[in-house]
Structure 1
Amino acid sequence: MSNIQLIIEERPADIGNFLVGRLLPFREKRMVGPFAFIDHMGPAKLSDHENMDVPPHPHIGLSTLTYLFEGSIMHRDSLGSAVEIKPGQVNWMTAGKGIVHSERTPEYLRHSEKMLHGLQIWVALPKHLEQGEPSFHHVEAEDIPHWESDGVQFRLIAGEAFGRKSAVPVYSPLYLIEIKSTSAQTINIGSDLFGESGMYILEGNVSNDGHIFGPKQLLVAKDAQLCSFEMGENTTVYIFGGEPFPEERFIFWNFVASSKEIIEAAKQKWTAQEFDKVPGETEFVPLPKPRF
């Protein structure tokens, strides 16, 4: 019997002046473990007059994880962080009770052609930390655990798995794993995963129980303990998941919380422009109107 519970197709979403492929949340599966939101950015070729410009906007109750395959993003936040994100690095920004950040094409690339391709992920915080102090961590590519086994390349981007631990300071039991193979391979994860588990196919194909799945599909497993699948040639997948929280999580715009009251308070605070500002940036994004 197949271990696949749900297949989620990537859906287009507009984040301002940039189109992404949305994977989570999905109406039938709002979260996978603590993972509450996943966007696939690109691959997009931007001309010499096209740039990524996501102006200062707030977050609460989550950690954002940015992981690029191609291109570069300049991150600035209300803590004073100003870091260029490059492929293979991990930007891990924890909002807690509130943080504001912007994401833009770096100045030196704004007048040249460039590519942008990567993942934007939100990981919800445990209830006892969701109103904590915000923080920011940037992890270099060489500090991400990576290894090869039988011709298959692995990177443990965040969390713990396979007896290894990523340098990304996560706050609940989880994992985000990159697996690449240039030749057809059988992958047996066995008991190394836990909680809820999903697999995003970036390129190539994956076979399971006689079914073939391709790029831009997210497969949600019935049981993380029984993960075995076939990878086709030149395939890259991302396996993610972890222990789900006992409480429901509510999402409005960029806010994630275990109660609607916390979200309402954040909405009022943002409308009153009482969040800390990103140094040197003055743009203000109005609170979006609720969708009915």
Structure 2
Amino acid sequence: MQSPIGLIVEERAANIGNFMVGRLLPFREKRAVGPFVFIDHMGPACLKEYQNVDVPPHPHIGISTLTYLFDGAIFHNDSLGNGVEIKPGEVNWMTAGKGVVHSERTPEYLRKRDKYLHGFQIWIGLPKDKEKVAPSFFHYDKSEIPVWEENGIEFKLIAGEISGKKSPVQVHSPLYFLEIKTKRAQKINIGERLFGEVGMYVLSGTVKVEGNDYGTKQLLIAKNPSLCEFETNGETIIYLFGGEPFPEERFMFWNFVSSDKEELENAKENWKAQNLDVFPKIPGDDKEFVPLPEPPFKSK
């Protein structure tokens, strides 16, 4: 019988300062899964009292960003005037649209103590007619995120819509980002609920697909969402994400994503020139910024 898995992507670790990030998307053989164009698995990392997350102001265009933590805290500041701490189980959803600037830092009360950090940072492409919308930001408390149980299986719909359930996160195209937890070995057939393209990431535990076991640090991409049937081998946490792919290809340079390569060039020039009409300063965090990468950084 032919395997339902079309591609297995190994998580590629990268050191971005005080913690490790496991890059899942994009990948050479698969640039996106549905509208999802970029997924980083942050940590898990233990930061000492002298180690802090300090990602200075940097720009985005053409995407929505989703930050979801399992442990730790990050303080988000942006050029819209938002200053919000995100904690485990909460969702930060920022739509860059025509242009936004934000920074991510360890909150002040944690900066001189040991702390943990673990979570996802995700970029989701915008439909072509929404790539230049006005930027916006929403923060969702964990109590707002739908959770339910079926046959001993715990579900949490972090974003999107599936099986009559809908997350409050203001997405811009048909998608889903779903957490599934089991405490014992269990068969799960969720294929009839899915649509578009689907990827599976095993955060902890293992899953069995067609007699083969897959564990952490692997992203499984299904050939067909209707074939999404698997078995957990015990206490397991997995994430399913995907949705309808866009008809146009998305191009990426650094933090910029667009269906039009010319828009990437415009964004590069505007950031390099610090054009405040496109990329305003962040109130209270305007003393530094991440410079535009120089060659050999290339468009993808």
TM-score (norm. length: structure 1): 0.98
Q: What corresponds to 1:27 in structure 2?
A: 28
Match of 2:283 among 279, 286, 290: 279
Question: Are the equivalent residues in 2 in contact too, given 1:17–1:53 (CA < 8 A)?
Answer: no
- The answer as to whether partners of 2:18 and 2:51 remain within 8 angstroms in 1 is no
2:294 corresponding residue in structure 1: 289
Residue 144 of structure 2 corresponds to residue 124 of structure 1: no
C-alpha displacement of 1:233: 1.2
RMSD over aligned Cα, in angstroms? 0.9
Instruction: Name 1:182's counterpart in structure 2.
Output: 183
- What is the CA distance between 1:15 and its match in structure 2? 3.3
State the partner residue of 2:194: 193
Q: Which residue of 1 aligns with 2:249?
A: 248
Following TM superposition, where does structure 1 have runs of at least 4 consecutive aligned residues deviating by more than 4 angstroms?
Answer: none
Checking the alignment, whether the CA contact within 8 Å between 2:18 and 2:47 is kept in structure 1 is: no
Q: Distance in 2 between matches of 1:240 and 1:15?
A: 25
Q: Give how far 1:16 is off.
A: 4.5
How far 1:278 sits from its partner (Å)? 0.8
CA distance in 1, matches of 2:124, 2:237: 22
Structure-2 separation of matches of 1:16 and 1:284: 16
Q: Supply the distance in 1 between the matched residues of 2:92 and 2:116 (Cα, whole angstroms).
A: 19
Q: Structure 1 unaligned segments of length 5 or more: list them.
A: none
Structure 1, residues 79-106: CA drift from partner, whole Å, max 9, x if none? 0000000000000000000000000100
Relative to 1, partners in 2 of residues 1:16 and 1:258: Cα closer, same or farther, differing over 3 Å? Answer: farther
| Residue in 2 that maps onto 1:53 | 54
What percentage of residue pairs aligned between the two structures are identical?
65
User: What do residues 170-221 of structure 1 show as CA deviations (whole Å, max 9, x unaligned)?
Assistant: 0000000000111111011031100000001111001000110000100000
SS in 2 for 1:234: strand
**Structure 1 residue 18 displacement after superposition:** 3.6
Q: How many residues align?
A: 292
- Counterparts of 2:230 and 2:294 in 1: how far apart (Å)? 43
Q: Which amino acid aligns with 2:77?
A: R
Given residue 292 of structure 2, which amino acid in structure 1 is its aligned partner?
Answer: L
**Secondary structure of the corresponding residue to residue 233 of structure 1:** strand
- Does the CA contact (< 8 Å) of 1:161 and 1:193 recur in 2? yes
Instruction: Check if 1:268 corresponds to 2:273.
Output: no
Cα distance in 1 for partners of 2:18, 2:284 equals: 21
Matches within 5 A, 1:1-292: 1-274=2-275, 275-281=279-285, 282-290=287-295, 291=297
